[in-house]
Structure 1
Amino acid sequence: MMSSTTPRLPLGLGLAGLLPFVLCAAVVVLAGLPWQAIAMQAFLYYSAVILSFLGGIHWGVAMSLDQGGSTEFNGRMVMAMAPSLIAWPSLMLDARFALLALMAGFLLVRLYERQSDSVARLPGWYLALRTLLTVVVVLTHLVLVIWLSLLPV
């Protein structure tokens, strides 16, 4: 899945960026009640921040690679704002719905990045790295959704 041409720094930073997802999910599932609540809140906040960050990437791509006012530019600018508009309100939802909304946001960004105009503008190593990162991020969200659904009401 990963390209051997992925620069070491983005690879290392991307993998390090997974640590809060994995560690918080582990604490939610394995720790006692006070720590579970703190870890869930930390997970949701971090997820919202990272989802918003992904929008910023596309804002930068639009500014540097697309001609202002073109269809590609306009579409990418709208896409750049969508993650923040999903992330922020999700923080006001019940944890289960927030997890689902954030997970959907990560999947939507990744689907957008798979479109031909994104593939043409984004480095191949970035697309491979984003696939790996998205898989782990979505899996951690799914683990927490399943865990919450198993709790007694």
Structure 2
Amino acid sequence: MREVSSDCRVAWFLGLAGLIPFVAGGVIAWWGSSAWQVTAVYGFSYYSAVILSFLGGVHWGSALQVPRPDNRRRLFIAMVPSLIAWPALLFNVVTGLWVLLAGFILIGGYDLSRDGREGFPAWYFKLRGLLTGVVVAFHLIVLLRLGG
């Protein structure tokens, strides 16, 4: 049996803990009091933008750590999530959530590409797949609540 590194365990723990605001926001958007529903939806949107930007930072860090011929392209790609997340907050909340959802799907697709996978351990993509799946599902849950 292979031993799991402590970094892997910590990353899984933190990644799963990072889902709490998405899950809580989705649940409160449906079953919280009216005042809490509004707060939950906006909090969900803002947190979503922060996390989407963070995913770009993951690739930025990878490009700086591992010298590769395509690093310039990867650095540019690493900026895309932030350039999607920030304007998404300027739209009305429904449009913004659709834009953020598209951003998660796009960066998830890049993560699965040959270039996107380079430099990361295999376990990272299992974690990213699970996290992205939950995030996408909760975007759809909140959008359904908003009639979007």
- TM-score of the aligned structures, taking structure 1 as reference length: 0.89
Contact 1:14 1:133 in 2 (8 A): yes
Gaps of 5+ in 2: none
Q: Which residue number in structure 1 is paired with residue 34 of structure 2?
A: 33
Identity of aligned residues (%): 44
What is the CA-CA distance between 1:5 and the residue it aligns to?
A: 4.3
**1:15 matched to 2:13:** no
**In the alignment, residue 11 of structure 1 is paired with which amino acid?**
W
* Alpha-carbon distance in structure 2 between the residues aligned to 1:66 and 1:97: 38
Gaps of 5+ in 1: none
* Alpha-carbon distance in structure 2 between the residues aligned to 1:25 and 1:16: 15
What is the CA-CA distance between 1:74 and the residue it aligns to?
A: 1.7
- Between 1:23-32 and 1:126-135, the stretch displaced more is 23-32
Contact 1:5 1:125 in 2 (8 A): no
Instruction: Say which structure, 1 or 2, has more relative contact order (CA 8 Å, 6+ apart).
Output: 1
- Between 1:94-103 and 1:117-126, the stretch displaced more is 117-126
Q: Which residue number in structure 2 is paired with residue 115 of structure 1?
A: 113
Q: 1:98-128: per-residue Cα shift (whole Å, max 9, x none)?
A: 1111011111111001111222321111111
**In the alignment, residue 50 of structure 1 is paired with which amino acid?**
I
Q: Which residue number in structure 1 is paired with residue 45 of structure 2?
A: 44
- Between 1:125-134 and 1:115-124, the stretch displaced more is 115-124
- TM-score of the aligned structures, taking structure 2 as reference length: 0.92
**In the alignment, residue 145 of structure 2 is paired with which amino acid?**
W
RMSD over aligned Cα, in angstroms?
Answer: 1.5
Aligned residues: 144
Selected match of 1:103 from 98, 101, 104: 101
Q: How does 1:65-144 map to 2 (within 5 A)?
A: 65-67=66-68, 70=69, 72-144=70-142
**1:53 matched to 2:54:** yes
